[in-house]
Amino acid sequence: MAEDGFVQALPPESKGEAPGRGRLKGRHILVVGGGQRVLDAATDPVGNGRAMSILFAREGASVAVADMNKTSADETVAKIASEGGKATAIEADISKPADIERMIGEAEKALGGLDGLVLNVGIGVGGLGLAGATPEDWDKVLGVNLRGPMLCCKAALPRLADGSPVVFISSIAGQIAGSRLPAYDASKAALGGLMRHVALEGAKRGIRANIVAPGLVDTPLGRLATQGRPSRGRTPVPFGRQATGWEIANAALFLMSDESIYVTAQTLAVDSGLTGIS
């Protein structure tokens, strides 16, 4: 926890109130998982995918918001449009290979090209610990968390413009034990291997691939996870609070922008130091 009761005032970037600076002007970006779960519509904070989609549009990009929940994707697009941004919604379930091919094609057509891809997907299901794991749950989790991103990259790489960034949204669960969901932890760890391979294949065309690994984040999905495992909410966090979805989005923005033009095959933990000093 933060020492001596220190509480840092959140800057505009952490609250999604900072104005855009044109860092993605003219770009065409597909955000897979750009909707968000609804836990309590009256009090839900912004989710990572929605925050990224809005932030990218605010920075000048045209955004394709893909989600298995079309209504949620439409809501993200509506928020972007209300700020004068450009976005389109696509319904797709990346556990279905046919949906992936269609999604990439629809995004490319709607945006007039693709020069950025964000993969913000992940599920954690099943009982806690190895005793609670089943073959069915294992296959379901890896099908979404690992096979899905692999197929997205396979379909998108030939269509991405030279110099495009690919950003995977993973979790520090891929670096330290903690979720108590073996399939989830294993899938997020394996995502690092996939990311590095994409970086290797993309290097000859200037295509960069990196990971943002969030720690504890206050999102609807995070709150749902805490309901299922109350100890999550009691985790001692060095900064004394969980991240906001906007803080994850700003890390992704850095990796999507030319500010990170010489960064590839890296993992950026956005976790208040949980993986480094806790």
Catalytic residues: 184
> Which residues lie across from 63 on neighbouring strands?
29, 87
Q: How many angstroms separate the CA atoms of 102 and 110, rounded?
A: 12
Please name the amino acid found at residue 34: G
Dihedral sign for Cα 125, 126, 128, 131, please: negative
- Assess contact for 141 and 123: CB atoms under 8 A: yes
Q: What is the DSSP string of 32-100?
A: ET-S---S-TTTPPPPHHHHHHHHHHHTT-EEEEEES-HHHHHHHHHHHHHTT-EEEEEE--TTSHHHH
Dihedral sign for Cα 100, 70, 142, 153, please: positive
Specify the pairing of strand 28-32 against strand 117-119.
Answer: parallel
- Assess contact for 19 and 58: CB atoms under 8 A: yes
Q: What is the DSSP string of 95-142?
A: TSHHHHHHHHHHHHHHHTSB--EEE------S-SHHHH--HHHHHHHH
